[in-house]
Structure formats: C-alpha cells, structure tokens
Amino acid sequence: MSAAELSRRGFLKGAGSLAVGFALVPALGLRDVAVAAPSGKGPKGSGPGHDRQLRVDPVTHAGADDAWLILTPGTTTIYSARVELGTGVQTALTQIVLEELRLGLRGVNFVQGDTILTPSASTTGSKSIQDGGPLLRQAAATAYQALLGLAAEDLRVAPNQLRAQDGEFVVIGSKRRVSYDHLLGKAHLLLTSDAMAPVVAPSNYRIVGQPVSRADLPGKAHATFAFVSDVVVPDMLHGRVIRPTGRNSTFSSITPDSLARAQAIPGFVKVVQRGNFVGVVATSEYAASVAAAPATGIVVEWEPGPALAPQETLDAALRDPDNHYLDYTDQNVGDFATAFAGAQRQLTAQYFSPFQMHGAMGASCAVADVRAKPDPVTGVQATIWSGTQNVYGLRGVLAALLFGSADDVEKVYVRYEEGSGCYGHNGADDVSADAALLSQAVGRPVRVQWTRQDENGWEPLGEAASHDLEAGITGGEIVAWHHRLYALTANSRPGANNPGTVLAGTLMGFLPNDLPNNSHDSSGRNSPVTYDFANVLTDAKLVRSFNTDPASPAKATAPLTYRFLRTTALRSLGGFSNSFANESFLDEIAHATGRDPLRLRLDSLSTDARAHAVVAALEPYWDKRPAGGHGIGAGIAFHQYEVAFTYVAAYVEVRVDPARGVIKVDRVVVAHDCGLVINPDGLRNQIEGNVIQGVSRALKEQVTYGPVNGTAHTGVTSVVWETSSFHPGPQYSVVRFDEVPKIEVILINRPDQPAWGAGEPTIGTIGGAIGNAVFAATGRRIRQLPMTPDVFLAAPTE
Amino acid sequence: MPTPLTRNLIVNGRRRKVSVPDDAEPLLYVLREQCDQRGPRFGCGVSQCGACTVIVNGTVTRSCVTDLNTVPDGASIQTLDGIGTEQRPHPLQQAFVDQQAGQCAFCINAMVMGALGWIESRIAEGNRAVPSRQEITDYLSGAAPGSTLNYLCRCGTHTRIVEAIHSGAAQMVRERVKR
C-alpha cells in the first residue's frame, strides 16, 4: 500500500484504533514550512515525516494533518490545540501527558496552535486544563496502552506482568526490562485517541499535583524565547497602520504633500489604502513609524462620523430602550415578581462598570507572508504568525479577507506565536489581519507592530455594564432576588469566516457578525448566583453596539456605525462586573438586615458543600478582621465561576483616606477550589495574577473616550499609561508595584474531582470584596467602578 | 532631511557597527533589527512601562525613547540577551526562574535590567546592603531616590518579581563581597 494511494484521513475514518506498519504521507512539505519558522520553535524534528514513531491523533480531525501526540525514540511531542497565553498551561498539560505515559519528568516538545499540525480548539474561558487536559490525557493513555502491548510482546509476558516507570517497562519480580525508546525504534503506530483507554488513578499521581517549574520561563528570562514580536522571516518588511481619528470616521484623502514627504523617507516602500484601512510599509520598523506619523509622514484626512454615546451619560445610554435589541432571561427560579411584591421589605440598587482594556504590556504584533500564488507543494499561499487565541478561527477569517472566500482555508496557514499576556480577545487577531493585508499589497512578508496608541485606541474592549439589583426580604431572609443586566456583547471574536470580525475587515466595509441572541455566560456570565434563594430572576436588556436593521435587530446595517465602543471577551467577561454587583448588593442586604456578611453567604450556600467550604475557609480571617471604621475595614465576596465550575471566596482588607478618597488594598486572602490541582505553584501564580489585575480593574481602570483632540471625531482618548507633559491626554492607569496588596492563597485540592480552570475565576470576586471592605471602613457604598477618589467621595454614606 | 549616522557600539561585550539613515532612530529598533537582540521589547514606545529597558554605559535606559544620536560612540550596552545564559545565568535571571516570577513574562526584561542597573549602581556607591522589599517596590514604582521610572506588569506577577529581585540582589551582593 503506498502512501500516495491513501489519504491518511480517509484511512483513519475506516480504521480501528490501532494500525501497525502504515507509512505516513511524506510530510506534505511540512518540513519546508518549518524551515521558515523562527529559531527555537516548531516541530523540532519530531513532526510528521519520521518513519519510526508512535502517533496519536484526535478522533475528529479539524486540520490537514493534526495530531495530539507523537513519540519517537528520545522525543515526545505534544501537539496542543490549547496555546500558552502566559498562564502556564504548557507546563500543566505536559504534566498530564508525562503522568499517563509514566515517562517521569523530562522535556517535552510542545507544538501549539497550528492549523496544519494541531487539532482545533480555541484557548478561552479558563478551559485549557478543564477541557483540553482530559483530551490530552486520553491521547497519552492511548499511547501508553500501545507501548504496553509492544512491551508485552517484546518481553513475552502478559501486560499485567509489567510495571512502567520513567520511560521503561520492567517485568514485575524480575530484572527483565525494555525501554520505551527501544520499542519506539522498532514500531510504527498510528492511533486515534481512545476515549476508553484506562488512565492513571489520581492516588497514583507522581507528576500531576507537583509544583513543576514552568517550561517556558528560562527561555523568557534569558531572551532566547521568541515572542511573536521576535519572529523574523527572510525578506521581511515592517508595516504600521493609520487608524481613523474617530470610531465612525471615514477616509477622505491623503494629502499629496505628505505622500511625497513619506515617499522620500529612506526605506519607504508603500502606502496601502483600502476603504478606511490605511497602512504604510517600509524596510525598517523605524522608517514605517516615521512614514505613519502625521508629523513626519503621511497625513490622512478623515471625515467625522456619528458620535458615540457620550461617556458622561454612558450608564443612561445603556439603559436607553432605543439602544436595546433583545430581552433575554438567563435564569428564572420560582416567581420573583410575586415574591418581591409580597416581601416585607424591598431593597434596590444600581451598579455600573466602565469599558476596560486588556492592555497587553506588549502592543499587538504579527507577521504575515502572503504570496501571489499557492506553494505548489503545500498549497499554502498565506502564512501568518499570530498571537491569536484561535488559529482556526483566524484562518477562516483571513481566507475570506485575502482571497474572497472562506473555502480557501487550505491556502492560509496560521501558526501561533506567543504574544504578551492577552487576558482575552485583544488586538492579536486584528493585527494579524493588518499584517496579512499589507503583505498581500506588497508581495513580501510584513511584520506589523502596533503602537501603544493603536492598542489602547483600537483594541476590542471589555464591555461597560449597568445593573439593577432587587431583593425582597421577609423575616430577615432573602425571599426574592433579581439581577437585570444592561449588556453590550462580550463576544465578538473572529469567526464564522467573516472578514467583518476583524478590525481591518470592518474598516474595509465588511460588517461584523450579528449581535448575540443571548448574554448567557458571556456578558451575563455570573449574573446568576449560586445562592439557594427561593425566587430568582436574572435577565438582560441586550444593548446594540452599532446601528442595526429594524427588521432584524441583531444585524448590523451598512455603513457600520458604532453607538458604543467595540467590545468582546476580557478576562471573565461579564463576570467581573456582574459579581461586583451581586456581591456588593448581598453585602448591602446583610447590613440592612443586621446579618453577618460571611454567615449570610454560608447560610445561602447550604446545598453546595464545596461552595460552603471555600467561604468557610475564610472564617478564621473574617473572625479576626479589623473592627471597621476609621478608614480600615474588611470585606468578602464569593462566586462560582460560570455558576458551574471553580469556587472562589476572597477576603480583602483596605485602608481608606476618607478625606482624599484614596483606597489602598492591604491584604487579600483567596480560598480556591478548582477540583484536582495539576500544578499548585502555577495555580497560585494565576490566582495572584487575578487578584492584582482585579485590584487594578476595581480601583483604577477606565477607558475614556469622547472628542479626539477637540475635533468632531469621537474615539478612545486614554492612549497612554500615564498622563505627562509629553502626553497630556487622559491615561489608562493600571496598578503599580506600590499598590499591590499582600496576597495569601488557600488551595482546596480535590484529587477525586475533575480539574477546572483557574485563569479567570478569582478576578470576579475582587471588585465586590474591595467595595464591601470600603463600606466596612468608611460607611460609603461604592456602586461604580473604578473606585477612584472622585467616585469614592461622591458615593452615598449610610 | 534625516541625518545618517554610523555608530560603533559594544553590545554585551561584542563590537557592533550600526548604521541608520536617520540619526533619530531609537536605540530599541537598532538593537532589535541590527544587533539581533530579543530582550529589549516594544511595550509602549513612550518610556512608561519599561519593556525596552537596557543599560547604556551603566545607566538604566529606556531604549524606546533613546535616539541613536544620543548614544555615545563606543557606548557599552547590556541587554537581557547578554547578561547570562541558561547554563550560566545571572543571579537575577536565576532568581526569576527560581521564584517562578513570570506569567507571560514579556515584561520581565524590564524588571531584570532595571534592577540590575539599580543594584550595580548601589554597589558601586559602596552600598552593599541587600535592598529591602519596600525599597524594591519603591524602585519599581518610580518612587525611589534618583529614579522616577515606573515598571509595569499586567499579569499580576508583582509579588514574585519583588521576591526574585530581593533574592537575586542578595546573591549579587554575596558575589561582590567574595571578590
């Protein structure tokens, strides 16, 4: 049987779980593709094409040649759909694989997010360990069973006579042994992952549960690691984008004098303009930056468009029925309206959070190489090195953008390269489209490095949100609870093969996807509560981000006209604002009814032992808390991520200068139950990061927008980290080192339970816990983020 | 018209002759594109985050706002690429790994290089005390005597970064006392 006669995918569909002696299609030119990889990355000689290997593929193939796992003598390579976003999943996923393979602690190649080599999945929603871990575990378990069979054959004993450890099999009670490498040197196995392959019992774990050091940190600490911004390909040029002055502004002209000036810049290559998309290409990053700057390069005239809803009245605009396109009920337990009306006492409050940024430390960057025609061997015409969270999603979008048809996905090869931490859907996809368009226009590879102003001004933001909270109280008990959310979308990720889902596409006139038909687990994430109240209603008024078709109110109309800033998934999505509202309001109820805030939560979580346990873990801290008043106080908050997964409770101590309104968070204690802990140190690192980013978002962060430089254009104006004499405009301020609290973490490990995610759950508890602590310290109830001095001083007192 | 410029630099001990068509080109781009350095990174371009930090003739420098024409000919430049290797790490690099003081770790070039320049200059002034955690926090917040440079981390690795600098500084001081 020759390889050419048989499509491997076709073979797999018809095959059992084990095929011996099958020759792979020779590499499909993959080695050639790999040659273009930046140094230190890529398959490292273990990819498809080796003639001696044990390979485990997913049951369902998404890519052309995807695998989960390939073992060759001396080398193990994981092909991970889930990518390392700086959260340590590479290390944790590797631990899971090494455990099942009984390989001991050894280096493993990690190929990630690659539309040729890895299966399809996005890296979102704290799901890499939770969903990706079990898939890789089964792949490794499948490989192990195959190795066990080979070893039994080689040693002529029954498999149950063998014990495996650190890469070799030993016959129990004898000295006879065989190494994996020896077996692999003779084998050629192609398997599909077997969901029934037995896995290691948690009580026997030797690597899972250990604080294994991050695989990527040494390279990052020594500058040998290549971030996406370090990708260099031969013949590469540098591009910059020039965005409209305002959000709805349209291209008018490039002044001829300025074009001549740009053309005279040494290294200038080209100005590219397609609709409202404008960019420049040059031979160096500096030349591109000079050509793109209005003071030294091209000057683009933009026509102002309709203004955005003003920031000063944003809360009212979110509540304005003219901006709503759909009513949605997320959770409806019992009969809220009747119970609320019949309660002895009714409490209500309104909460609000502003737009916030991902604010990656490294401004977004990508490299694209778009050729005039497909490579005759690989069929690839466009290669994009991108920090995207979803290589397959981006592939479809770029196929449509570059080639006019999403059917041309095979022409587009997207390979993940790590950017700086993204915390959700940031500019990584947008800059990839920028690079692809510019590369296509000049016929050479182009690297695009956004400026800080590009990033802050145009990244897709975390959504602003308004909340109405209502509770009915009878006999001191909460008998009715209602949370109404006024929700902009938290999901505008690239997808549906629609070029309008990336910034360059909308600037060229494509429309974004329809707005979502619900807010469940997106902008409405954690608007429902875990508490066992008898009558609960959680609903939402979905807010249109842009003008939509009256006949089909989720559908954008052309020309695309934003009413609000573009919003998408930012760490925990709506969970940060929703839990701030829920947990603050519950604190209001506790104080209004004279109940202890911690015990009210315990009493309301009586049917969920794990929820109860994380709150109870804070009891020793709570019982020794500062008395409150005189500017010093403590607060707590709880939530269960997505009301379905990881449980978190946070205890916060604050110190407030009541005269100046300055809030300082001194101490945070987090109790955290995400089931089985894969890597306790990596988990702590994530939780600490959630706390600190949560403090930053609760106290400081707010996108400002409005008239740009006194013009008729409206857009984001907080385009630097710090207002200064050089940059007198508004700042997007994030936490400084001297604003970081002391952090303690209580991990509740449950080895018998599934491993849940930890990248986002904790952050949702921080805003509420701080607000509640501020109330304890000062008697002021903060119902608005961020809790700046102005907000504090304007807050109502009890 | 832009003024071309050629400079002889010593980057991590190696001579590098660099040429730019415009002498206002920031050192950051020169180091990355002509000297193959990865440590200095583009973060903000306006000296507000620290990602581009290098040490020029012993001085902690934000290379994103340092025009090449302000870098003296023959200047000695240290970058994260050159202060140690994985086999022979600098004490600060070792400490960052030991403390697992990184999440995405894009920013740690800033804290390693800033702390290196700061601690070296303390030692050069005869101050062999290991900086306290509070002093390190103040330094990284731009609130230390003599430095208003702020250092930003977005992942929230601050506590570990301070610990790493503390233990790395202790090792630097120990090594200096031994000599």
Is residue A28 within 8 A of residue A51, CB to CB? The reply is: no
ipTM field:
0.98
Q: Name every chain B residue with its beta carbon within 8 A of the beta carbon of A736.
A: 140-142, 150, 152
In a domain, B57, yes or no: yes
B110 with B74, same domain: the answer is no
- Determine whether the interchain pair A685/B25 forms a contact, defined as Cβ–Cβ distance below 8 Å: no
- Determine whether the interchain pair A86/B103 forms a contact, defined as Cβ–Cβ distance below 8 Å: yes
Burial (CB count within 10 angstroms: exposed 0-12, middle 13-18, buried 19+), residue B129: exposed
Sheet holding B59-62, edge to edge: B14-20, B5-11, B76-78, B53-56, B59-62
B97 with B165, same domain: the answer is yes
DSSP A575-590: HHHHHHHHHHHHHHHH
Average pLDDT, rounded, for chain B? 97
Is residue A681 within 8 A of residue B100, CB to CB? The reply is: yes
Residue-wise pLDDT tens digits, B162-172: 999 999 999 99
Quote the percentage of chain A above a pLDDT of 90: 87
B115 with B69, same domain: the answer is no
Among chain B residues, the shortest Cα distance to A721 is held by: B48
Mean pLDDT of A378-386: 97
B54 with B31, same domain: the answer is yes
B74 with B139, same domain: the answer is no
Residue-wise pLDDT tens digits, A699-756: 999 999 999 999 999 999 999 999 999 999 999 999 999 999 999 999 999 999 999 9
Residue-wise pLDDT tens digits, A490-502: 999 998 899 999 9
User: What fold is seen in the domain A311-347+462-568?
Assistant: Aldehyde Oxidoreductase; domain 4 (3.30.365)
Which residues of chain A are in CATH 3.30.365.10 domains? 3-213, 229-305+359-458, 596-700+735-794
Least confident of A111-115, A467-471, A573-577, A671-675: A111-115
B122 with B147, same domain: the answer is yes
Helix (H, G, I), strand (E, B) or coil at A729: coil
Q: How many domains does chain B have?
A: 2
DSSP chain B: -PPPEEEEEEETTEEEEEEESSTT-BHHHIIIIIS---SS--S-SSSSS-TTEEEETTEEEEGGG-BGGGSPTT-EEE-TTTS--SSS--HHHHHHHHTT--SS-STHHHHHHHHHHHHHHHHHTT--SPPPHHHHHHHHTT-BTTB------SSS-HHHHHHHHHHHHHHHHHHHHH-
Please give the Cα distance from B84 to B109 (Å, whole number).
Answer: 13
B98 with B170, same domain: the answer is yes
The residues, ordered by sequence, that sit 6+ positions from A702 with a Cβ below 8 Å of its Cβ are A354, A355, A356, A718, A732, A785, A786, A788
- Determine whether the interchain pair B151/A359 forms a contact, defined as Cβ–Cβ distance below 8 Å: no
- Determine whether the interchain pair A88/B140 forms a contact, defined as Cβ–Cβ distance below 8 Å: no
User: How much is the pLDDT for A64?
Assistant: 57
- Look up the CATH number of domain A596-700+735-794: 3.30.365.10
B42 with B99, same domain: the answer is no
Instruction: State whether residue A362 sits within 8 Å of chain B by CB.
Output: yes
Question: At A28, is the pLDDT very low, low, confident or very high (cuts 50, 70, 90)?
Answer: very low
Q: Which helix (H) or strand (E) holds A163?
A: strand A162-165
Q: Name every chain A residue with its beta carbon within 8 A of the beta carbon of B42.
A: 229, 362-363, 365, 449
- Is the pLDDT score of A11 beyond 60? no
- Determine whether the interchain pair A693/B154 forms a contact, defined as Cβ–Cβ distance below 8 Å: yes
Task: Give me the residue from B46, B138, B153 closest to A738, CB to CB.
Answer: B138
In a domain, B86, yes or no: no
Please give the Cα distance from B141 to A153 (Å, whole number).
Answer: 64
DSSP A434-495: HHHHHHHHHTS-EEEE--HHHHHHHSPEEPPEEEEEEEEEETTEEEEEEEEEEE--S---S-
> Domain boundary residue among B55, B78, B101?
B78
User: How much is the pLDDT for A63?
Assistant: 59
Burial (CB count within 10 angstroms: exposed 0-12, middle 13-18, buried 19+), residue A334: middle
CATH architecture of the region A3-213: 2-Layer Sandwich (3.30)
Among chain A residues, the shortest Cα distance to B155 is held by: A689
**Probe site for chain A from B23, B99, B104 (most A CB atoms < 10 A):** B104
CATH of the domain at B96: 1.10.150.120
Q: Name every chain A residue with its beta carbon within 8 A of the beta carbon of B159.
A: 688, 692, 740, 742-743
Residue-wise pLDDT tens digits, B85-104: 999 999 999 999 999 999 99
> Domain boundary residue among B26, B52, B78?
B78
B71 with B101, same domain: the answer is no
- Determine whether the interchain pair B106/A362 forms a contact, defined as Cβ–Cβ distance below 8 Å: yes
In a domain, B84, yes or no: no
Residue-wise pLDDT tens digits, A156-181: 999 999 999 999 999 999 999 999 99
Q: Which helix (H) or strand (E) holds A651?
A: strand A647-657
Question: At A18, is the pLDDT very low, low, confident or very high (cuts 50, 70, 90)?
Answer: very low
- Is the pLDDT score of A22 beyond 70? no
**Probe site for chain B from A222, A225, A422 (most B CB atoms < 10 A):** A222
Which residues lie across from A386 on neighbouring strands? A416
Is residue A787 within 8 A of residue A775, CB to CB? The reply is: no
B72 with B98, same domain: the answer is no
> Domain boundary residue among B78, B102, B124?
B78
Determine phi and psi for A127, rounding to 5 degrees. Answer: -115, 5
Please give the Cα distance from A41 to A247 (Å, whole number).
Answer: 38
**Probe site for chain A from B22, B106, B151 (most A CB atoms < 10 A):** B106
Q: Which amino acid is at A41?
A: K
Q: Which amino acid is at A222?
A: H
In a domain, B38, yes or no: yes
Instruction: Domain of residue B139: give its range.
Output: 91-178
Instruction: State whether residue A664 sits within 8 Å of chain B by CB.
Output: no
Q: Name every chain A residue with its beta carbon within 8 A of the beta carbon of B162.
A: 737
Quote the longest CA-to-CA distance of chain B: 54
Q: Name every chain B residue with its beta carbon within 8 A of the beta carbon of A218.
A: 86, 89, 97
Residue-wise pLDDT tens digits, A762-774: 999 999 999 999 9
Please give the Cα distance from A171 to A157 (Å, whole number).
Answer: 8
B53 with B122, same domain: the answer is no
Task: Give me the residue from B32, B100, B158 closest to A740, CB to CB.
Answer: B158
Least confident of A11-15, A121-125, A208-212: A11-15
- Is the pLDDT score of A354 beyond 50? yes
Question: At A126, is the pLDDT very low, low, confident or very high (cuts 50, 70, 90)?
Answer: confident
- Is the pLDDT score of A40 beyond 60? no
Average pLDDT, rounded, for chain A? 92
Task: Give me the residue from A218, A265, A738 closest to B86, CB to CB.
Answer: A218
Instruction: State whether residue A736 sits within 8 Å of chain B by CB.
Output: yes
Question: At A66, is the pLDDT very low, low, confident or very high (cuts 50, 70, 90)?
Answer: confident
In a domain, B85, yes or no: no
Q: What are A706's two structure tokens?
A: 């409005």
Is residue A535 within 8 A of residue A341, CB to CB? The reply is: no
Q: Does domain A229-305+359-458 have CATH number 3.30.365.10?
A: yes
Please give the Cα distance from A689 to A684 (Å, whole number).
Answer: 8
- Is the pLDDT score of A215 beyond 60? yes
Mean pLDDT of A442-448: 98
User: How much is the pLDDT for A31?
Assistant: 24
- Determine whether the interchain pair B85/A222 forms a contact, defined as Cβ–Cβ distance below 8 Å: yes
Instruction: Please identify which residue in the block is written with the tokens 């002093």.
Output: B135
B71 with B113, same domain: the answer is no
**Probe site for chain A from B65, B67, B103 (most A CB atoms < 10 A):** B103
User: How much is the pLDDT for A105?
Assistant: 81
CATH of the domain at B10: 3.10.20.30
Q: What are A235's two structure tokens?
A: 């013949």
A756: which DSSP letter?
Answer: P
A335: which DSSP letter?
Answer: -
